[in-house]
Every structure is written in C-alpha cells, then in structure tokens.
C-alpha cells in the first residue's frame, strides 16, 4: 500500500498499529502493509471495529502482520490482556474482512475476482487483471469478462 495511506491508518489506529515501522527482528509490521491500495477501506472498517472492541473490553488488539496471501487479505494479530471471548470475536471480525477482500480488487477497491498468472494469485477487477496479465480462476467469470471485453471494443 502507498506509504501515505499506511500513515493515515497509523494515525487513526495508533494502538492497533503500534508495531508499524518497528524492528524487523521483532515485528513483521516493520515492512508495513504488504498489499495494494484497493483494500484500504476494508482495513479501515476492520480496524475501527477492532479498536471499538478493544476499548470496550480492555483487551487491545495489535496488528502483527497485514499482507496479501494467495489473493486475499491476511490480518494477523495479537491481543494484550487476552480473553478467549475477545479472541473469538476478533477471529470472526477479521474473517469477514478477509472474506470481503476475496471479492474486492486489490488495486482499485472495486468488484474483483480471484485471478491467476502462473503460480501467483490476486483478487482483481477485469481491467487490473487484463493489464497485469492475470485471468480469473472461475471459468464463468472468465467467460463474462471475455464477453464484456468484446462489447467494450466495439
């Protein structure tokens, strides 16, 4: 993600992102956010929920790593003053955000589908996928994009 977008999230959620820019020997957040800009809104909503939960329970969620893996968002976290119930709720909230990323273009934030290029997977919209040489994994989506592409060329 662009540095300026990362810093906006760090400013909004300093407790969750307190490891951001830390030592690579201690945290994966030393590398920042390891994905494109399109998932910014998903992360903003996710961290707003996690910070609200943290404030209500006293169990502070701290991001350990935020990245793309196999085409979807992966949000790894730790919890200070952990409670089993809070951890369970966090898994649910994070899981929903990760599921949303599987339908959201990592480049633009618009509608996306899981795409492949060689052994690399990304969730992309039609334009971003075509531009970067990716094709949809789902054959129905590939056919739809093919038809839409043909319509757009006339």
Q: Say how far apart CA 135 and CA 96 lie, in whole Å.
A: 25
Q: Is residue 67 part of a domain?
A: yes
Mean pLDDT score, 124-132: 96
Residues 40, 14, single domain; the answer is yes
Show the tokens assigned to 101.
Answer: 């990323």
Band the pLDDT of 152: cuts 50, 70, 90: very low
Mean pLDDT score, 5-23: 98
Query: Which residue range forms the structural domain that includes residue 48?
Result: 3-101
Number of domain units in the chain: 2
- Residue-averaged pLDDT of the chain: 95
Whether this model's pTM surpasses 0.75 = yes
Residues 11, 42, single domain; the answer is yes
SS (H, E, C) the chain: CCHHHHHHHHHHCCCCCCCCCCCCCCCHHHHCEECCHHHHHHHHHHHHHHHHHHHHHCCCEEEEEEEEECCEEEEEEEECCCCHHHHHHHHHHHHHHHHHHCCECCCCCCECEEEEECCEEEEECHHHHHHHCCEECCHHHHHHHHHHHHHHCC
In which residue are the tokens 């810093």 written?
7
Compare 45 and 150 and report the one with higher pLDDT. 45
Q: What is the pLDDT of residue 154?
A: 37
Residues 91, 133, single domain; the answer is no
pLDDT beyond 70 at 77: yes
Q: Say how far apart CA 66 and CA 33 lie, in whole Å.
A: 5
Closest CA to 75 of 33, 129, 114: 33
Q: Is residue 108 part of a domain?
A: no
């Amino acid at each position: 993600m662009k540095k300026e977008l990362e810093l906006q999230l760090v400013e909004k959620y300093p407790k969750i992102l307190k490891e951001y820019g830390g030592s690579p020997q201690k945290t994966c957040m030393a590398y920042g956010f390891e994905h494109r800009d399109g998932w910014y809104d998903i992360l903003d909503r996710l961290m707003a929920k996690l910070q609200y939960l943290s404030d209500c329970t006293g169990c502070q969620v701290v991001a350990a790593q935020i990245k793309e893996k196999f085409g979807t968002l992966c949000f790894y976290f730790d919890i200070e003053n952990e409670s089993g119930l809070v951890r369970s709720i966090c898994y649910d909230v994070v899981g929903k955000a990760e599921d949303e990323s599987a339908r959201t273009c990592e480049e633009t934030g618009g509608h996306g589908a899981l795409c492949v290029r060689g052994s690399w997977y990304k969730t992309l919209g039609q334009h971003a996928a075509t531009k970067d040489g990716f094709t949809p994994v789902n054959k129905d989506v590939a056919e739809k994009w093919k038809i839409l592409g043909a319509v757009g060329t006339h």
